[in-house]
Amino acid sequence: MPRPRVQSKEIITRPSPAPRKSSGSGRLRDDLKRFTRERIVAAALKSFAQYGFRDSTVERIVELAGTTAPTFYRHFPSKNALIEPLQQRVAEEVSKIFLKLDLIAEPDFPTMRKWLDEFAAMWSRMHRLCIAYWEATDAAPGTSQAAIPSALITVNRLTNLLGRCPADRRRAAELRLALIIPLLDRALLVCNAAGDADLKAELMDQFAMMLVASLDGLFTVANQ
């Protein structure tokens, strides 16, 4: 069944302003090429957010970009080439909140529940792009191979948290934290689908407690 056309509140990357004429024709061509590419990427992200990855055709993307299919194919070999900027856009927003874990001195329930609410607020803005990304992993199976490596890039920026782990547990800690990222997306999807407000609150509480147990293990090992 086709996805309904809905308005999205996701933060979408906007293209740079159109380049002004410069003295060098080569530089102007490069500027125009970059501008057109950015405009196509911005249109693709808008389409992914509104219609999903599967229902975002090249024709729909170029219509939103105000360009043509031949121009699209001069910049991208296929729609699948836009999966990378989609993944980067999602990872950018996820990282902003996830990295706040590094500022938490003690991962107790009140602290983690508050952090989970902050993550959920970001997710509510970005979830349609998240859904589009998971659709893209089905359309291009090789894409899913980048999920954990991408998460590990974010995780390894948690220098304060990881610094509390002994060297022999560092790898386990990195993988545990990397797995939390996709789990957050799926857990929040389920919580929001619950419908009943009380059930949603209970699910959020339980998931926060799971996060506490997972992170507390890292701290416990570090303090032994």
| 54 and 91 housed in the same domain | no
Q: What is the pLDDT of residue 20?
A: 56
Dist CA 219 CA 213 (whole Å): 10
Among 45, 77, 109, the domain boundary falls at 77
Q: Which two tokens stand for residue 73?
A: 């194919």
Report the pLDDT value the prediction gives residue 220, as an integer from 0 to 100.
Answer: 55
Confidence at residue 93, expressed as pLDDT on a 0 to 100 scale: 94
The stretches of 52-195 forming alpha helices (DSSP H) are 58-65, 69-75, 83-98, 109-139, 147-155, 159-162, 170-193
- Does one domain contain both 177 and 114? yes
Domain check: are 65 and 104 in the same one?
no
Distance (Å, rounded) from C-alpha 215 to C-alpha 181?
Answer: 13
Do 52 and 130 lie in a common domain? no
Q: Which residue has the higher pLDDT, 135 or 216?
A: 135
34 lies in which domain range?
25-77
Q: Are residues 37 and 146 located together in one domain of the fold?
A: no
Residue 16 belongs to some domain of the structure: no
Please give the pLDDT value at position 139: 83
Q: How many domains does the chain have?
A: 2
**Among residues 77, 98, 118, which one ends one of the domains?**
77
pLDDT tens, position by position, 188-205 = 999 989 889 999 999 999
Residue 121, token pair as written in the block: 């607020």
pLDDT tens digits, one per residue of 21-71: 545 667 777 788 999 999 999 999 999 999 999 999 999 999 999 999 999
Cβ of 130: how many Cβ atoms within 10 Å?
22
Query: Are 158 and 94 within one domain?
Result: yes
Residue 214 or residue 68, greater confidence:
68
Q: How confident is the model at residue 141 (pLDDT cuts 50, 70, 90)?
A: confident
Q: Of 28, 143, 35, 154, whose CA–CA distance to 98 is shortest? A: 154
What CATH number did the domain enclosing 57 receive? 1.10.10.60
Is residue 62 domain-resident?
A: yes
Question: Rounded to two decimals, what is the model's pTM?
Answer: 0.78
